[in-house]
Structure 1
Amino acid sequence: MDLSGLSLAELSALQEKIKQEIKKRQKQEVVRAREQIIAIAQSVGVSLDELLGSAGKTKVVKTRKPVAVRYRHPKDASLQWTGRGRQPQWVKDWLAGGNSLDSIGV
């Protein structure tokens, strides 16, 4: 297909038609894939839920135990840090002042 003879408006219209055709074909591919999956499940005598592994399963949510506080601000006990994750600003300030973490450890 020679595109060099087309105007900008014609190229834009062609581009829009291409986008629409791509969307249409993508939908067709999804439908075709779904039909194939269902056919496979039926051929082995399994329901689609069993095939996908969602039948009879419950999702287990793990809860994390709280971590003990390892550092407290010497003047304000409400400022505390477990030692995990980013250092709070008060810890950064403490260390910048030439102090060590050992001096504020619990």
Structure 2
Amino acid sequence: MADYDLEALSLNELKKMQKDIAKAISTYEDRQKAEARAKVEALARDLGYSLAELVGTETKTARTPVPPKYRHPENPALTWSGRGRKPQWFVEALSAGKTAEDLAIG
């Protein structure tokens, strides 16, 4: 390990060293966790199980898309489910005098 004369370093150099050390500690811990997880998964696999089966966690499932509620008046390919941010075409249609019911599907 290198010997540093900390008294001779400037404040900026000390702060940079502090950030570098914190990052090194964090990545070291991440590497150790990844290695431990790989070993445990390999052991579980050797015994004929998955790690999720042994610890009782479920794997995440993808959410099914929500069916659209609104459709663009001129371009039926543009739809919106009514969730999240309003698309620009929806905002423009409302400002042009249309209502949400006018744009509703079915």
The TM-score normalised by the length of structure 1 is 0.49
TM-score, scaled to structure 2: 0.49
Rg comparison, structure with higher value: 1
